[in-house]
Amino acid sequence: MSGDVVDYASSAVSAESTLLGEWRARIVPWVLAVGALDFGLEQFMVVPIVPAVQRAEGVPVTTAAWLITGFLLAAVVTAPVLARLGDMYGKRRLLFVSLGAFGAGSLVCALAGSMEWLIAGRVLQGCGAAFGPLAIGLARDHAPPGRAPLLIGLLVAASGAGAALGLLLGGVLVDHVSVAAVFWLLFAVALGLLLAVWLFVPETPVRSPSQPDWAGAALLATALFTALLAISQGNAWGWTSARIVLLLVASAVSFAAFVFAERAASAPLVDVRLVARRPAWSANVVAFAMGFALFIAGVVIPQIATLPEASGYGFGLTITQTGLLLMPGALAIVAGGWASGSLVTVAGVRPLVAAGAILCAGAYASLVIAHDTVTAVLLANAVLGLGIGLAIPALMNLVVHSVGAQHTSVFAATTAVTRSIGAALGAQVAAAIVIGAGVVELGFPAEDGFTGAFTLGLIATLLALAATPLIPTKRTDPVVRGAPDHGVTVA
């Protein structure tokens, strides 16, 4: 009898543990999705407040722009390193580091008494950008068989939702509360996420234990930092100036040394042999072009929206109204990301990327023809967002499923970095075109500059479309083939 009682109690405990495990497993994707949403907030919530900070601090626009540039520089430098450490020592552990950076950076910005401290806080926030690749790695590790593509699409969609909310909330808080309120909100979200990850997200058993490749990390960080600094300052310093040329040369030399060192390393930061395989390099080529195209609209549309109607083409909108104008485009990224994650196992990567590029090209073509009404710009931006939402999750799925699970986060980071560099270059070239067109009466930028920037976006999306045949077909597409979520290899 006593033996029966013991067996019954053990079974009850086991059943309770199983139910608890299933409940936690269902919570994990949503915690990661909220984290991806926060990542979108961290990136885009500051965009609408830059003019307000510039006026309040009495600094030139080039200095205020470092609120965005500083975040981006820190992100591209630290994301691959922290993502690789997550693959090695545990992705959940590094999530705490990323969220800690978000929270600490937000606190510094909220308490900042000068422009220098605001920029320092934004740089610290950028050090948390590895959250995205780490979350993708955890989603793949914890996903039921065949569900990883959908979860990756969910994370990209959630990041798009964060961008939409950020563009709106940033403007509302600045217009009706204060600049500091933006960062207090981000601080509170980071603290809530730290608690949620601690309570609900288990560590993954998938690891690649080895010694950190600090030499490779230093070389890659140098290559990325110098390249992005040159891109971000090209307009201010002059593209042919000695400083820009030296930075680009330093980037090229550092990157060549990185490739050489990684090929010789026993435990490389990034396995360049895997990067050189078709799924990875083809996805990164297209991701660069799509990133380049996306941020052209992100730079140009707010300028048109906020310019007064006296310019002849501006809408005269407030910061909050500009956020509302941009919001449908960000929400379209959410819809596209969700659809991409659901369809990629059926349609394959190449058709989804091609469809996304066609939508983006159509959006930019319409902006070239007509950008003189709120309706025309809103609809075109929504179509652009839908195209980006379809393409980027498909590319991310291709990359992370082309390598073993022990490399998931760092390879997701390489694609994110490629896209970010394309975005930074696109924004700067678009700005150069607008500036180069000169000014007209009353000192407004010439409308031809905006038309030229939209034409550049059209060219970039057509190049992305032209590059889609490089993406593997159904027979070599690991997602379409129904390959397992771990240890996938692609010829």
Helices 179-200 & 2-44 angle (0-180, nearest 10): 160
Determine how many CB atoms are found less than 10 A away from the CB of residue 439. 11
More confident residue, 4 or 189: 189
pLDDT digits (tens, 9 = 90+) for 144-196: 766 777 777 778 778 777 877 887 788 788 878 888 898 999 999 999 999 99
Confidence check: pLDDT of 214 > 50: yes
Q: Domains in the chain: how many in total? A: 2
Q: Mean pLDDT across the stretch 19-28?
A: 61
- Answer yes or no: do 292 and 148 share one domain: yes
Among 466, 487, 467, 470, residue whose Cα is nearest residue 478: 487
Task: Give the sign of the dihedral formed by CA 366, CA 303, CA 284, CA 95.
Answer: negative
Q: Is 411 a domain residue? A: yes
- Answer yes or no: do 275 and 413 share one domain: yes
**Average per-residue pLDDT in the chain?**
79
More confident residue, 204 or 193: 193
Helices (H) and strands (E) in the chain, counts: 18, 0
- Answer yes or no: do 154 and 247 share one domain: no
Place of tokens 């204060």: 178
Q: Is 245 a domain residue? A: yes
CB 333 within 8 A of CB 163: yes
- Answer yes or no: do 390 and 322 share one domain: yes
Angle at the Cα of 268 from the Cα atoms of 265 and 271, rounded to 5 degrees = 110
Most confident of 36-50, 124-138, 449-463: 449-463
Among 173, 69, 180, 178, residue whose Cα is nearest residue 122: 69
R_g over Cα of the chain: 23
Alpha helix ranges (H) inside 59-130: 61-64, 66-89, 91-111, 115-126
Query: And the tokens for 30?
Result: 């949503």
- Answer yes or no: do 161 and 148 share one domain: yes
- Answer yes or no: do 358 and 277 share one domain: yes
Coil, strand or helix: which one is 383? helix
- Answer yes or no: do 181 and 225 share one domain: no
CB 387 within 8 A of CB 357: yes
Looking at residue 321, which CATH number applies to its domain? 1.20.1250.20
CB 128 within 8 A of CB 98: yes
- Answer yes or no: do 190 and 303 share one domain: yes
Q: How many residues does the chain have?
A: 491
Q: Percent of the chain, pLDDT > 70? A: 84
Query: And the tokens for 446?
Result: 């010439």
- Answer yes or no: do 366 and 468 share one domain: yes
Q: Mean pLDDT across the stretch 380-393?
A: 90
- Answer yes or no: do 335 and 468 share one domain: yes
- Answer yes or no: do 250 and 157 share one domain: no
Q: In the beta sheet, which residues pair with residue 445?
A: 439
Confidence check: pLDDT of 271 > 90: no
Determine how many CB atoms are found less than 10 A away from the CB of residue 266. 7
Place of tokens 């990323």: 98
Amino acid at 138: L
Among 476, 328, 457, 480, residue whose Cα is nearest residue 394: 480
- Answer yes or no: do 166 and 280 share one domain: yes
CB 116 within 8 A of CB 436: no
pLDDT at position 22 is 59
- In a 10 Å sphere around its CB, with 0-12 CB exposed, 13-18 middle and 19+ buried, how is residue 77 labelled? buried
Among 447, 294, 442, residue whose Cα is nearest residue 371: 447
Residues of the domain holding 449? 15-213+267-476
